[in-house]
Structure 1
């Protein structure tokens, strides 16, 4: 577990909550605005991520007036056509003024409180410019810490039709950071039935 002394500099990282999708598996519902224990999913994510970063933004392509009421700056995709999570990362890298950007999806309300610290320590220790979360079962590349220097490579990947987050992360030599001790923290809601069951 990182100590307080190993925390990233306060002005180093911008957080971005990825809420720009079409909600296809939710029947077109805007995922981030669905209620979980009486609050929008995006608010649960913000409550956990905001204390870990210098600035927090929300990537949203629909219902922006509603998202604006939560008090965080909004950024829409710069790549058209609802190109997925990488388009949200691209928008953040294009907008942020910090050297690093961390992403989290809007449908994972229990993300780790030390997500950023642990990704940052791995990035600081290794040669890569990208770190992603992993548990015993699988990688979670939408939880990533990315250096802004990777923007040209990401732009080229998206403009070439690439959409797969895991494939791009692998191509960039991403460091996988083990969060197996918090495997449940990466649970997410894909359908309205999932939400109804909680």
Structure 2
């Protein structure tokens, strides 16, 4: 496992797994709980991210008890904004729950092969650019849901959501996010959104 560089330690960095989607392309299944090689997908994600952060949070809309073994579970959404409103609601919940940390590293529950140095590289890219946020880029493809952001961005995000916007990329651009290059690990961001992609992930994991 890659070591986190000393300059960017786990201290002050929380992790957030987004598990609040409806799984429409997975026949309505809760994607984080879909089995991959005998384990829920969230277990693979948590195993990759947990060693990189000081604490792990899971944002979910359902099956809270089943997610509890993998981190502190927070329901995404709030009375004002509602639930099932997209990943930014889950990120807002994570930011609210991680205010004692300086950074929050966010990943989706359907990306089971994440880099083992993801947090260090994302936070490092943001710090190098003196930016409040960085998102992953691999071989020209943007992975907006894999990001590191300062927890102080919570008011900014809530204002964006209250204005009615939900697009992740638009908010990142407005907040001054920069990209972090992962051209050396494009397969690490393989998403599992459909049964066909699940079969592909099974084949990849067995290699």
What's the counterpart of residue 205 of structure 2?
none
Length-normalised TM-score, structure 2: 0.90
Maintained 8 Å contact 1:16/1:101? yes
Query: Match of 1:174?
Result: 177
Q: Show CA shifts across 1:76-128 (max 9, x none).
A: 11341311111111001111121110100000100000101111111221221
Q: Which 5+ residue runs of structure 1 have no aligned equivalent?
A: none
Q: Determine if contact 1:2/1:117 at 8 Å carries over to the other structure.
A: no
Instruction: Name stretches of at least 5 consecutive residues in structure 2 with no aligned partner.
Output: 203-207
Provide the rounded CA distance (Å) in 1 between the counterparts of 2:141 and 2:5: 28
**Following superposition, which runs of at least 4 residues in structure 1 exceed 4 angstroms of deviation?**
none
TM-score, reference length from structure 1? 0.94
Correspondence for 1:78: 77
Q: Give the alignment of 1:21-100 within 5 angstroms.
A: 21-68=21-68, 70-79=69-78, 80-96=82-98, 97-100=100-103
User: For each residue in 1:49-90, what CA deviation from the matched residue of structure 2 results, as whole angstroms up to 9, or x when unmatched?
Assistant: 00000000111111112112x242101113413111111110
Task: Tell me how many residue pairs correspond in the alignment.
Answer: 196
Q: CA RMSD in A?
A: 1.6
